[in-house]
Amino acid sequence: MVNFITFAQKYNILLIHVNKDFNSNPILIDDYDYALPDECIAKYPLKERDQSKLLVYRNGEISEDIFLNAVSHLPEHALLVYNNTKVIHARLLFQKSTGAQIEIFCLEPLAPSDYALSLSSTEGCTWKCMVGNLKKWKQGNLARNISINGQSLQITVSLIESTGNTHQIRFEWHNSHISFAEILDNAGELPIPPYLHRKTEESDKTTYQTIYSKIKGSVAAPTAGLHFTKQVLDSLKQRNILTDELTLHVGAGTFQPVKAADIADHEMHAEVISVRKETIEKLLQHDGNVIAVGTTSVRTLESLYYIGVQILHEKVTPDKLIRVEQWEPYQQKTDISTEMALRAILNYLNNHQLTALHAQTRIIIHPGYVFRVIRGMFTNFHQPRSTLLLLVSAFTGENWKKIYDYALSHDFRFLSYGDSSLLLK
């Protein structure tokens, strides 16, 4: 997953700082900084995904391999869990009669608020968006003519309401045979990370998606999964390592850099998660041997524990949105086991005849966090001063510096299109 600092600056995203309401030692973002030369940032992926380098961290020791051989470094009978979200072509360009170009960047659906319903809508929809060059769009609607499968239609967008520096944008078109997903696929642009300093190319439409992506909704790829190929997945089957999937749609918070000196003053964003009942059952069967693919999978899996705790404390009802708040893991001490929490979710789903758990999470994972579900993770190398680097540090302790020093001195490629690491307890 990427940290779109450039976008945050471009769109002047408003950051709301909220202090923790409990006492703890300050975690200063300056302590999670390092020098990242531009030449270490991978501008394009390797031609063969699984030939990327793999750093393996186990018991404080570092070794390296290539991703094709990742299976040989996994514990026996592990359960590998990945994020099946798919990046949408979220960026739409409109041109005013004056020649001014307005960029509308779709972040998350508002009406309908369900991703699937909004993307399948054929009668219009409303999304939370960022708007580039907003000062040139002072009033009136914007329109653009496009052609899809030989059918011509006009998209009209109107600004409904603004909150800070995000905006409610209404999209309308008059063709009941065309869905909003088709409009994005045909007229939108895939949003590659801005630090690549280049425009989206045709190849990015393939290389910036995981091979198992299928549920549309993200505005950034879960990039740890970009290294997987059919050959790697086949090797997992041969070693009897099971895989399963969940969904976390990477949303607006991706564009919020950590600007606060103390991480306590950084506001995490809410992200939509979905986990099938069968996945909960597999997690119970593999207690203590779960490996997450990417930080999005880590945050989803760890959020499950706190959802289970909420259920056991009778704080969850079918008519109420289930949500894990940012500081929830640090505000309460609990002796509830991971198994108890997961079984509580399973019982909740069975009692309410639900096939999947749908929720939101704002969880932040930083040094001091106690991991409840995962025992390891695949993850890329992240930007300095990012919440993703804090998550890595929470898992590896101060050894994150050792890991990153090794990667920098051994020609590992960094960020979204870069190389990978396997971090194991």
| Residues making up the chain, counted from first to last | 425
Each residue's pLDDT tens digit, 379-415? 999 999 999 999 999 999 999 999 999 999 999 999 9
pTM: 0.90
Q: Are 165 and 255 in contact (CB under 8 A)?
A: no
Q: Are 241 and 80 in contact (CB under 8 A)?
A: yes
Give the amino acid at 37: P
pLDDT at 415: 95
Domain annotation for the chain: domains and CATH numbers: 5-86+206-424 (3.40.1780.10), 90-189 (no CATH)
Structure tokens belonging to residue 405: 């020093």
Each residue's pLDDT tens digit, 196-253? 989 999 999 999 999 999 999 999 999 999 999 999 999 999 999 999 999 999 875 6
Measured CA angle at 201 (ends 295, 380), to 5 deg: 20
**Beta bridge partners of residue 244, listed in sequence order:** 81
Cα separation, 369 vs 141, whole angstroms? 47
Going by pLDDT thresholds of 50, 70 and 90, the confidence category of residue 374 is very high
Here the contacts of 56-65 (C-beta below 8 Å, separation 24 or greater) are 56/421, 56/422, 56/424, 57/396, 57/399, 57/403, 57/421, 57/422, 57/423, 57/424, 58/424, 59/424, 60/399, 62/402, 62/403, 62/406, 64/410
